[in-house]
Structures are given as structure tokens and as C-alpha cells.
Structure 1
Amino acid sequence: MDPALYKAATLGEVASLRKLVDPEDPSALSSTTPQLNTALHLAALHGHAAFAGEVLVRNEELLVARNDDGDTPLHLAAKAGKLEAAELLVGRALAWPQDRKSPLIMTNKAGNTALHEAVRNRRSAVAEALLDADPSHGHDLNERMESPLHMAAREGLVHVVRKIFDFTWVEAEYVPSVAVSGTALHQAVLGGHTKIVEIMLEKHAWLLDLTDSDGNNALHYAAQKNKSQLVELLLNKQAQLAYKPNGERQTPLHVAAHYGSTAAIKALLRCCPDVAEMVDSCGRNAFHISVASGKTNALRCLLRHVRPAELLNRVDNDGDTPLHLAAKMSRVQSALLLLNDHALVEVKLHAGEMDAYEMYLWKQLKQQELKRCREQQLPPLAPYSSRKTSNDKYFECIVETYILVATLIATVTFAATASIVVVFCFIWAWLDPVRFKVDQLLWGHRLTVIACLAMLVSLMTAVYITVDPESRWPAYVVIVIGMSTPAVVFLMLGKEVIFVPM
């Protein structure tokens, strides 16, 4: 493109356009930039309506010209939110010959019309102008099977949604999208736009019955996003939504428990307290789900608001109560919350592998069981087995590594005390591996860390004593490096540095 024409188009200089382009020979307007933008594309992008009108007087075919992205000038005006330029182009589009494809419905490479682009970029004024020109395209689908209504609902464009809903509608146009999350109502709930949800349900309450491809209704989405106000709104419209499961037989309460949505849990239980009794396809209730997902805040909320408390003792399809799941999955905080609930009395231990965290849980479980047995005069559980399990090979590697490290530290440095204690602790590790994992392994690990820190101190001290009389700065460099080493390790591993890597 001629640089002078490019400058005129971007600045909207109509006088320059008249000098550069002969009305009798408008071929200069056919030139493009490397992105295939014409002068009309540039004028639309920058909002120069007068310049755009002058270009169309000379070459009306540029109205349907496409750039490298498949965008027409109207697409660019819609993206940029240039209302005056968009209105000019819309007016020309309405006068476009009937036998030719209208610029209003032309799509770019993403399958988006100008209306899609206006809504996607939150250009409400341009979107309304496009809908005023032709309101029938609010349900047109792009390549992602997403309509302008889907986008407007998600973006919270209230006036755009109302304008689309005011137009004659066809029920089939509200079916769930296969590429985005459900219907336009689902999108509005996801965005937390209460006003849009109210508009939709006021017009078409039957939208509540529609689900996404996984069977989730709008209440599932509100529960996921922890939108208590929307949960209450939807339940007031149709309380039965709380009992409708998705494809995995999960109710909205299951979803809220999985995502830790405590406000949604409270709202659901206030309206439908018995929904806590429902189970999913695995036979799990909301307590199971909160434990499995590690959401202790959701579990705490359920413990406070769910009655009867006997729901805590329900088993899933594998015979596990929520406490069993907590022990099997090393959910220490969840297990302790459950153990503090006095109604939980049916406890058993599943045989199999148990790591250090599970050993800690076992101790807590055993104490709880002993207390129960004293109160009810029942025989206690059998003591845990100290037989070797399938992860003994890894356990052996850990013990050997600690012994080697501790021995080397004790040999080459002055950090012998902690290291020698570690060595003697680990020598007797094999007498009872399970008890060792619970009672001694953590201490051995922490004493090894202390020995390593002592080794650093002895190294810095030795270097300082040896080097400082001759040259101070090398000694200071070594001290700085030594002091920064623990900080770097803690920065890399965080709090994990004080726990055993089991």
C-alpha cells in the first residue's frame, strides 16, 4: 500500500484521500498492507467514518473485502468498538444486493460474524447496533458452536442479552453447545451475572431444565462457582434442581463439596437439607467427596450443617466411610476433623500399604478406638502388623541413604553428635519398620538436617580461621555462600524440607 494512503487512512484525512485516488480510476484503493488490510479496513479500525464513507463512494466492493484473518471492515469496527464507523458500514450492508452474501453475516476464519466479535470484545453499543439492524442473528453459531447469546451471557452484557431475548425465539436455538459449557443460562451462571439469569428465567423458565453435555444443570454451575445468591435464585425458581444428578450421579451438593464452595453448601442445605443423603455413581455422599478432594473447609461446613450425623458412617461402593478415605488418601486434616466428631464410631483399618502419614493417622485412629472400647466394653482392634509391605524397597533406600549421609557427616566434620544419634536410630530400624516410620524416622530426618547445618557452620569457621589472616574477602564470600545455602534449599522445597520424603 502507498505510504501516503496508509497514513491518510489511519489518520482519517479525507482531503488526502481525494488527492491520492482519482474518482474515475479507484484502483489505488485495491492495494493492501502485508496483513491484506485495505484502506477501508484501516479507516474502520481507527473509527474514521467520514473517510470510510468516501472510500465506499469510490469502491463499494471493499465493503466485503477480507484481510488475512478473514475479517471484513465491519469485523474490525466491531472489535475496536468504533460505533460511528460500524453504523456507517451497517447502513451500507443493509443496502447490499439480496443475491449476494450480506456483510452482516459474513464470518472470519474463526467463524465469527461481526456480532460475535462485538460481543466477544464487550462492545455493547456496536452489538446493539448490529442487533437493531438484524436481530435474527443472536443465535448464529461460530466454529466453536458458540452464539452471540452465549458470549453476551458470559460477559455480562445485560442490554445485549435483553435485546436478543426480546426477539422471536426458537426453542432449538437454546440447546447446549458442544464446545462451551452448556447453554447461555449456564454461561450467565458461570459469570455470576444475576441480572442476566433473572432476565432469562423471566422470559423462559424452561431453560432450567436444560443441561450441558455432562448432564449438569445451572445449579451445578452455581455450586461450582460458590455463588450463593444464584443458588438461592435458582432454588426459588425450582427447588427440584438440587436433587437432579448429572451424568456421574452427582448432585449440586456433591459439586459444591468437591470445589470447597462453602457458601453454596449452606444455601443448598438451608433449602433442601435432605439432599445430603444422595450418593453419586460410586455410592459416595458429600462427606466422601469433600474428603476425596481434600477440601477441609467444605468438610467442616458439612459437619456443622448436615443432620442426621449418621450420614458420616455411610459406606461407598467399596465399603469405605469418609474416615476410611481420609486414612487411605493421607488426608490428615480431614481425618482429624472426622475424629473429633463423637458420632463417628464405626471405624476399621484397611489392610495394605501405609506410608508415614497413614501411620500418623493410624495412631490417632487407634486412640479413638481404644476410647470407644472403654466406653462400650468392646474388644480393641488388633495391633497393626509390622510385616514388610510392597514399598519396603523404597524404605530400605531411605534408611541406607540416611545412614550413609549421617556417617559421612560424623566422619569429616565436627557435627558428630546429631549424626551419631541418627546412625544408632537407623541401625535398629528393621526391628519394627512400621513403628520406626511413625516414631523415629521423622526425628532421624530432622537430626540429619541439623547435622548438615552444623557441617556448614564448621566449614565456614574453618575457612574463616585459615584464610582471614591473609585475605578477608575470600573468607567473606565463603561465609555468604554458606549462609545462603539453607535459604536456597528452603526456597526450593518450602516446608517439605522438614518432612520425610515418603
Structure 2
Amino acid sequence: MSVPKNPSLLEEEEESPETAESMEPELYRAITEGNILEFVRAMQLASCVQLSPQKHTVLHLATSFAHHEIVKLLCKDLPFFLGDKNMKGDTALHIAARAGDSQLISLLFQSDFRESVLGEMNEDGNTALHEALRYGHENVARVLIDKNRDMMYSVNKEGQSLLYLAAEKGYEAIVRLLMDNPVGNCSAERRLKNKSPVYAAILGRNIGVLKILWEKDQSSFHLRCDKGRNPVHCAASVDYHEGVNYLLNKFCTFAYQKDKHGFSPIHIASSKGYLNTIEEVLRHCPDSRELLTLQGQNILHVAAKNGRTKSFTSMLKMPELETLVNERDGNGNTPLHIATIHGHPKIVNSLMRDERVKVGLQNKDDLTALDIAEEYMETMASFRKRLTWMALRVAGAPRAQNTKFTRSKKSKLGKQHKKKNYRDQVNIILLVATLVTTVTFNAGFTIPGGYNNSNPNQGIATMLEKVKFQEFVICDTIAMYSSIIVVVTLIWAQVGDISSMHVALKLARPLLGIALVLTSIAFMASMYLVVSKLSWLAKFVMFMGSTFVIALVALFVPLCFLGSSNYLIFRYISYYPFRLMLFVFGSYTEDDELP
């Protein structure tokens, strides 16, 4: 018995992966190009049944490329190909139905195997009729239904019946046909387990289909989805107010039913910000405004929680919702509390400007909206929550009377967070101030225009007499000394306690703001000097520089003065910069997700 010279090579050959199917190149090329003569010649030379790598037969390929003559020839001479499936479980009829080619469907049904493939399902559980409906080919679907009206079709793996798919696409004639014939019908028990055609009609916004379904089977309208929602919930979730109107006219009780999360349809609409749907529900059921979630929240609470600014502002203007403005939820929170907790500055700003809102109300923890905002500010709060805090401060929101007592009960962990927050702020401002000091110091030795190299003015700046140069020198000097004072102040703060850090930051912020603004003006003046010979460029430098300096001031003023907003004058100073920030950044603070 001989031993192989290379055992490892033999092992590799035995363990090699399976080789994929392949079709003769000439045959494959003839089918894809639609060359019927070459196709016939290649088929005659083929020694066995040919399959492509995805297990496509010649009929699959001819159908995919819509070569009708080849399909006709195969259905006549080799009809058994009609029942063959590719790797995804598709027959040629599936492919033709997806393509919506009525002529291909007719050719395939000339085969003796035509009846057996109508109910064949692919890997997704779809028959050819499912595919025709899914891809929006109404005429092809009608042809397939007419081939056998007594055939029973099951639902696919997504739980979609033929009736569901037809309702979703809005095919009223097919919906009526399916309802009047055995084809595609399911028992009530099966419908409970699968997707309801009623929901499909709502999601597709097909009022005609909805009317047919109500006419034929009203019991299906009382079925709930897996989230416990009824059809009005579904219509409210997509802002289909025409559907809401139709359904509430038929069955007003839908408006008062709750899903598994305790949401009624009006809460769903409120969480999405769909004002038209809210108005439609209130028109039919005015007392639905009193409906509460499991947390005891009304529709204003829900809108505030989800940051629906436009709809919330409109809802505030509705007289019938006036009693909800200061209503408390299960935790004693008003809509103002909720908007603060979830950090929606535009909503907070709208509420603070409404005279009906009682801004000093406390929740069950004895906290006002400002107390809640300031708790967030003691940690590294998000920019959205900082804007929310600013909205309360510039409007003069009050703290609770027992705030000091409440704060005295805070844990050491809370104090550690506060100290860490102050240290982070000190480090950031210290870094910026150091950079400003370096830049302004260097600018003092690299002045625009340079120095005079000849007597009698040797060493004197060449542009000394120009106003813009004098502006540059003054601004650069003040900026440098301001930043140096900031650096020294914050160095002292590093060795102190929390209170000293707080005082140091209150001093450092405005000084750093002054340094940054004057550094910008100094840069603008120096650039103007060096390009002053070109009038349009000098004007452009002045315009751009002035614009950005104004923006810098507007952004920095709230940071400097909001901490002292108990003083009316500081609140006035901060209000307009805050409004600018809210306008620029407020659109990025909306929360678009349903809770």
C-alpha cells in the first residue's frame, strides 16, 4: 500500500468548499442577450440541466430579461421548468409578477403546470399574487386572481395577507373582489394573529378601501395591534385626520380607548405634534382633552415632553385647553416642569411668556422649574439643557422658598460633581486665556507695517499716525492684560474651595469675553491696515469683522451675566442674545422620537 507524498495537500482537497453551480457561457450569453437561435443551439449541446450560481434555470433568466420568444418556446417544449425554484425560492411566475409583465404571465400560463405554481411560496412566504400586490401591479394581480378564484392563499412570513397588501396599495376593486370571494380570506381568529387590512388602509391613506372594509366586515375594526392600539390610534400616529374623522363618525368610543402604554389617540397625536389630528379628535370628542396617560399626564404634558414646539405653541392658543396649562401629573409636574426636565428651551420660553402660566408652582419634591434646571447645571449639562436654564433665568423664574434647605440636604456625591464641573470650567477658561495671552503678546512684536529702520524715528512703528493702528495697539494691550488677569485669578481658584471657584469664574468669564472681543477687533484693524490700498477688500474686512464681533458678543453676554439674573438689568442685557441663540440653535434641540 503506497503512502501519499503530500498528505496535507490531500487533506486540503478533501476539505475544500463546495463549488457553486455554473451555466455554460454560450447558453447564459444567449439567454441574457435574447438570441433565440444561439439559445436553441446551446440547449441542444447541453448535456444536463443548466443552473446559474443562484440556481436560476433558463426559464428564470429568460423571464428576468423579458425575452418573450424564449419564454414561449420553453413553456411549449419544456413546461416542467415552470415549477423549478431558484435560491430564493422564486419560480418564473414570481419573477414575472414582480416585473408586472402581463404578457409574460400569459405565456407562463400556457404551460400544463400553470395551476400548480399559483400557490407556490418563496422563502419570504410570498406567492406570485403576493409579489404582484407588493410591487404595485394591479392588473397582473387581477389576472392571477381570475386564474383560480377558489384558491386559498395563506399570509406571508411578515403576516401580510392578500387583503392587507391590496388595502395598503388602495386597490378598491381587488379589495372588494377578495372580500366577496374565498380567495385570500382568513378567519377572524387568523386575522387576530396577523396584520389587519384596516391598518393597511389607514397607513396607505386609502379612505375608499376603509369604507369598503367597514361595509363588509365591521368586526375587523375592533381588532387591536400588538401595541394594543385601535384604528384611530393608527390614524393619529400618521396624522391621517381624514381617517380619524371617518372612524370617529362611525365609532366615537375609539377616542377613549388606551394602548398598552396608556396612550389614547389624542396623546399619540400630541406626542407627534399633529395639530390637525388633535383638533379633529377634540371636535368629535371635546372631553377627550381630560384624558390622562398612566403617569397622569395630559396632552400638553405629552407635547412638552416630546419637544413639539409648533404644535405646543398652537395648543396654548386654544381656549378649550386653557385649564390644562397648569395641570399637574402624577409627580406634581406641570407642562413647564416637564419641558424643563426634558430640555426643550423653545417650549419653556413659550410658557414663560404666557401670563396664565404659574411659574412658581412646585412638584411633589418641592421644586420649581428653575430648581430642576439648576440641578442639571451642577453637572456637565447638555447645551439643550443649558438653553432651557437660560430661558428660565432671562424670564425671571423663581426658585422654591425652601431652596436653601433643599440644597443643604444634598449628598457629598452631588458636591463632588459640582466641584468637578467647576474644575473642568476653570481648566477650559485657563487654557483659552493662556492662548489669548500668547497671541496678543506675539502681536505686540509683529505689528502691521513693521518698524522704522532709519533715523530720526528708528524703532518707531511706521503706521503710528494711522487711527486703525492706534486702535490695534489699544485693543491688543487691553486684551493681553485682561487675559493675564484671568490666568492669575484661575490659578488662585485652583487652590481654593468650591465657593472661591464660583467667584473666580464669575470674574473670569466677562474678562475673557472682553479679551476675545478686543483680540478680534485688533485683528480686524491690522488686516484693514495692510489691505487699505484696495478699497473693496478693506470694506469687506470691516464688514465681516464687525459681523463676527457682534455674534461673539451675543454669544458671550449670556455666559457672563445669566448667573446674576436676579438683577433686572442683567436679565434685559441677556434677553436678546438669548433669543438669538434660541433662534440659531433651538431647531437642533427638538426630540422627534415617540416615547
Q: Smaller-chain TM-score range?
A: 0.7 to 0.9
Alpha carbons 2:436, 2:516 under 8 Å: kept: no
Tell me, what secondary structure is at the counterpart of 1:287?
A: helix
Tell me what 1:162 maps to: 176
Tell me what 2:251 maps to: 238
The one-letter code of the counterpart of 2:101 is K
Tell me what 1:395 maps to: 422
1-side partners of 2:424 and 2:112: how far apart?
Answer: 75
Alpha carbons 1:46, 1:82 under 8 Å: kept: no
Alpha carbons 2:63, 2:96 under 8 Å: kept: yes
- Measured after TM superposition, the shift of residue 250 of structure 1 is 0.3
Tell me what 1:134 maps to: 148
212 and 142 in structure 1: CA distance in 2 versus 1, 3 angstrom threshold:
same
- Measured after TM superposition, the shift of residue 240 of structure 1 is 1.3
Tell me the TM-score normalized by structure 1: 0.77
Structure 1: gaps (5+ residues)? 97-101, 370-379, 466-478
Tell me, what secondary structure is at the counterpart of 1:70?
A: coil
Alpha carbons 2:304, 2:347 under 8 Å: kept: yes
Tell me, what secondary structure is at the counterpart of 1:75?
A: helix
Aligned pair 1:35/2:54, yes or no? yes
* From 313, 338, 342, the counterpart of 2:351: 338
Alpha carbons 1:139, 1:149 under 8 Å: kept: no
* From 139, 145, 170, the counterpart of 1:125: 139
Tell me what 2:263 maps to: 250
Tell me the TM-score normalized by structure 2: 0.66
2-side partners of 1:59 and 1:79: how far apart?
Answer: 23
- Measured after TM superposition, the shift of residue 228 of structure 1 is 1.7
Tell me what 1:294 maps to: 307
158 and 443 in structure 1: CA distance in 2 versus 1, 3 angstrom threshold:
farther
The one-letter code of the counterpart of 1:118 is A
Tell me what 2:473 maps to: none
For 1:425-436, what aligned pairs fall within 5 Å after superposition?
427=489
- Measured after TM superposition, the shift of residue 13 of structure 1 is 5.1
Alpha carbons 1:53, 1:88 under 8 Å: kept: yes
* From 314, 323, 342, the counterpart of 2:336: 323
* From 74, 84, 89, the counterpart of 1:70: 89
Aligned pair 1:185/2:198, yes or no? yes
271 and 105 in structure 1: CA distance in 2 versus 1, 3 angstrom threshold:
same
The answer to which of 390-399 and 62-71 deviates more is 390-399
Which digits, 9 at most, give the CA deviation of each residue in 1:190-246, with x for residues without a partner? 222222222222222222211110011121121121122121111112111111111
The answer to which of 85-94 and 211-220 deviates more is 85-94
Tell me, what secondary structure is at the counterpart of 2:124?
A: coil
2-side partners of 1:226 and 1:425: how far apart?
Answer: 55
Tell me what 2:568 maps to: none
Tell me what 1:6 maps to: 28
- Measured after TM superposition, the shift of residue 34 of structure 1 is 2.7
1-side partners of 2:262 and 2:352: how far apart?
Answer: 28
Tell me what 2:434 maps to: 407
2-side partners of 1:162 and 1:448: how far apart?
Answer: 76
2-side partners of 1:147 and 1:459: how far apart?
Answer: 75
Alpha carbons 1:149, 1:184 under 8 Å: kept: yes
135 and 425 in structure 1: CA distance in 2 versus 1, 3 angstrom threshold:
farther
1-side partners of 2:206 and 2:508: how far apart?
Answer: 53
The answer to which of 51-60 and 73-82 deviates more is 51-60
Which digits, 9 at most, give the CA deviation of each residue in 1:402-452, with x for residues without a partner? 133123312432455456557767949966988999x98986786576467
257 and 15 in structure 1: CA distance in 2 versus 1, 3 angstrom threshold:
same
Tell me, what secondary structure is at the counterpart of 2:244?
A: helix
Count of aligned pairs between the two proteins: 451
Tell me what 1:372 maps to: none
The one-letter code of the counterpart of 2:387 is Y
Greater relative CO, 1 or 2 (CA 8 Å, sep 6+): 2
1-side partners of 2:508 and 2:150: how far apart?
Answer: 71
Tell me what 2:323 maps to: 310
424 and 287 in structure 1: CA distance in 2 versus 1, 3 angstrom threshold:
farther
214 and 402 in structure 1: CA distance in 2 versus 1, 3 angstrom threshold:
same
- Measured after TM superposition, the shift of residue 391 of structure 1 is 3.8
442 and 80 in structure 1: CA distance in 2 versus 1, 3 angstrom threshold:
farther
Which digits, 9 at most, give the CA deviation of each residue in 1:278-319, with x for residues without a partner? 111111111100000000122123223362522222211221
Alpha carbons 1:138, 1:148 under 8 Å: kept: no
Aligned-residue CA RMSD in angstroms? 4.0
244 and 49 in structure 1: CA distance in 2 versus 1, 3 angstrom threshold:
same
Alpha carbons 1:138, 1:147 under 8 Å: kept: no
Aligned pair 1:79/2:94, yes or no? no
1-side partners of 2:240 and 2:289: how far apart?
Answer: 19
382 and 458 in structure 1: CA distance in 2 versus 1, 3 angstrom threshold:
same
* From 188, 195, 211, the counterpart of 1:171: 188
2-side partners of 1:442 and 1:133: how far apart?
Answer: 81
2-side partners of 1:71 and 1:185: how far apart?
Answer: 29
1-side partners of 2:179 and 2:509: how far apart?
Answer: 64
Tell me what 1:146 maps to: 160
The one-letter code of the counterpart of 2:95 is L
CA radius of gyration, larger in: 2
- Measured after TM superposition, the shift of residue 4 of structure 1 is 4.5
Alpha carbons 2:154, 2:161 under 8 Å: kept: yes
Structure 2: gaps (5+ residues)? 1-22, 378-385, 409-413, 444-475, 532-540, 553-580, 586-595
* From 198, 201, 224, the counterpart of 2:214: 201
The one-letter code of the counterpart of 1:396 is R
2-side partners of 1:441 and 1:212: how far apart?
Answer: 59
The one-letter code of the counterpart of 1:31 is Q
